[in-house]
Structure 1
Amino acid sequence: MSRVPPVKVVRAATAVRTALLTLTRRMVPPEIGLLELASGFMGTQAVYAAAKLGIADVLADGPLSADDIAAETGSDPDATYRLLRACVMFGLFTESADGRFGLTPLGSGLRSGVPGSILPVILMLGDPQYQGPWGRLAYSVETGEPAVEVALGKQLWEYLDENPEFAATFNNAMTCLTALDWPTVVAAYDFTPYSTIVDIGGGHGQLLALMLGASPTAKGVLQEREALVGPAEAQLREAGVRDRCRIESGSFFETAPSDGDLYVLRRVIHDFDDEQAVEILGTVRRHMPRGSTLLLLESVVPAGNTPHFAKALDLDMLIFVGGRERTERQFTTLLDRAGFRINRILPTVSTLSLIEAVPGR
């Protein structure tokens, strides 16, 4: 595992990058800057098309011409060249004087099955079933309601249950994001003091497997919907920790395991409005043994003009599930209502923070 840089270093680098971006925007007329901003969807779809065609894998062994790439991907040669040329502008590929295209470090993130790949995330972000609800953002802002039902005809979780292909795309992206966040999480938090780690709403079980890997003597409990029990079984078995785990199906609105000393919820609370979030946390609180700890892995929205990805992700929550990203004050209020007291909030170099809380009454 590569060494994770200190949070202060990353924040300083982010501040420099933000200052440079601000300066760049000020150097162009406002109407041009606005046009460039609104055209960002073109980059999204170009990256998605390159990912869908598997171009990065084709270029893994070295530069090729557009015709050769098209032959490998089964795409139209002229249209493939035009896509490659645009992707050069976005920094994914290079074009040499002899007309061959090569892979950049940025484009290498689109390769499949290699460390650092975010291919599953790109395949979700560019999917028409993901982009469609984003096209209805104005509806959500006007009504305060999720746009996903207008765009897809159903609530997100129901849609995923009925569309297994997109559900696989969605779950693969979530698994990839968990792996992407993990080095920053384990660099900030020590899991070894805990004997039983409970992962509530833990999807396919990847995070639980990683936590058990960081705490070799601990046992694990995964609570998830019945539909995900099978995939979780396979994931935990593949990770070599199935014999240390118990899987429970059930709704976190109704029940939670009662034998843990660390209860972890990763990006669960942001899926819900305040009343539902308090209900979930209250259920966990009622089932936690005395002396146990709650750990939320969530983004914490900074105040004022400070840039943070959570401010955009907040709109994603509004569109798809009616949830929200929260500030430190909002988390404090939420946890207090559910009977918890925050011990500490640990920032990481990713967009996540670790919110550690204990029963407060």
Structure 2
Amino acid sequence: MAESIVFGDLLDDPDRLFTSLHTVLFGMGAANLVLRAGIVERLLAGPATTEELAALGQVPQGELARVLDFLVGHAVLARQDDGHWLATPRTARLFEARGYLANCESSALMNSAWLPALRAGHSNFAEYFGQPVFAYFAANPERGALFGEFMGWMTRRVIRFLFASHRFQPFVTVADIGGSMGDLLLAVLAEYPGTRGVLFDLPETLALARPVIAASPLAERVDLVEGTFFEAVPVADLYLMKQILHDWTDEECRTILATVRRVIPARGRLVVIDHILSDPPAPDEAQSTDLAMMAWAGGRERKLAEFAALFAATGFAIERVSRNPAGHSVIEVCPV
């Protein structure tokens, strides 16, 4: 389990404060530069010279070499004695995290507008980028695709915990509501043979997910259904909602949950995968993600009692909770 970082502890040591934040800030910038320039992907295919990488990224050789030196110094890349740059196992991990790193860059930008955003009554994202996050992604599909990759990366983080700590009772059809690129759904279908899945999301999201699903050996077990969870969802006996409710206000969450409640079978189950805020507050992932949700979309993380109130108001009752101290927890509810 990752050790929690207590921000207040950094303030006790000016040297640690500077080194930690300086490294993260410029490390993130360097990582996004080489990812966006295609340099990481090129190095994963084999060693390359500075001249070749500079031409690929259309950047000056001298400045690029300094960025690459930083990444070598921080054990992300390596350099051969003949001057060729090459990938390491961490280079592949950097490539896998590209969606998250792009979203970190957006967070850093929009957080400069936090105070005026609060005063204006909307999210940091809307204040800085001029429109709400999902409208922005619809208008900028390349950024929407990166966000989808980020969601897939987050899914891979939680899958091991989910399958080890929260086994599902027998089911025939599982519907992943707002399932983005289908990473969670495909993992569940692989883990539970003989089942079928429904990937439910907005049309523009499914347009990105369709080739991913088609390339999967499980494609014949997946149906793609377009729609909005504010209006209607497909029928299934197991529903998944990963990182959905935290995007929305309590009133909007009640609307989403009521939509599922209208069609869920009597023996059906709804599984909500989200952070659960500790009470009293603790320096864990849930606390920082709560601020991230405020900044990105005006959403929030919730305490278990707050989840329970949402479920009770929409005809559900909590049946099982698997708390994950290192990330997303799992709340399974049933209709009452």
Asked if 1 retains the 8 angstrom alpha-carbon contact of 2:284 and 2:325, the reply is: no
- Equivalent residue for 1:302? 278
Asked if 1 retains the 8 angstrom alpha-carbon contact of 2:32 and 2:98, the reply is: no
Asked if 2 retains the 8 angstrom alpha-carbon contact of 1:48 and 1:123, the reply is: yes
- Equivalent residue for 2:143? 166
Asked if 1 retains the 8 angstrom alpha-carbon contact of 2:285 and 2:326, the reply is: no
- Equivalent residue for 2:217? 240
Q: 1:132 to 1:342 in 2, by over 3 A?
A: same
> 2:30 aligned with 1:53, yes or no?
no
Asked if 2 retains the 8 angstrom alpha-carbon contact of 1:191 and 1:215, the reply is: no
Q: Report the residue type matching 2:145 in the other structure.
A: A
Mapped partners of 2:213, 2:52: distance in 1: 40
Please, what is the CA RMSD of the aligned residues?
3.1
- Equivalent residue for 2:100? 121
2:318 to 342, 347, 353: 342
Mapped partners of 1:194, 1:93: distance in 2: 45
2:304 to 316, 319, 328: 328
- Equivalent residue for 1:290? 266
- Equivalent residue for 2:330? 354
Deviates more, 1:206-215 or 1:71-80: 71-80
> TM-score scaled to structure 1, two decimals?
0.80
List gaps (5 residues or longer) in structure 2: none
Identity across matched positions, percent? 26
Q: 1:133 to 1:215 in 2, by over 3 A?
A: same
List gaps (5 residues or longer) in structure 1: 1-9, 112-116
- Equivalent residue for 1:272? 248
Mapped partners of 1:23, 1:147: distance in 2: 21
Mapped partners of 2:119, 2:134: distance in 1: 23
Local SS of the residue matching 1:257: coil
Q: 1:226 to 1:50 in 2, by over 3 A?
A: closer
Equivalent pairs, count: 335
Measure how far apart 1:267 and its partner are: 0.6
- Equivalent residue for 2:174? 197
Note the alpha carbon deviations across 1:300-326, whole angstroms, 9 max, x for none: 122335322222222221122111111
Q: Report the residue type matching 1:317 in the other structure.
A: M
- Equivalent residue for 1:75? 59
Deviates more, 1:186-195 or 1:272-281: 186-195
Q: 1:242 to 1:84 in 2, by over 3 A?
A: closer
> 2:120 aligned with 1:154, yes or no?
no
Q: 1:91 to 1:310 in 2, by over 3 A?
A: farther
> 2:170 aligned with 1:186, yes or no?
no
Q: 1:33 to 1:304 in 2, by over 3 A?
A: farther
- Equivalent residue for 2:27? 43
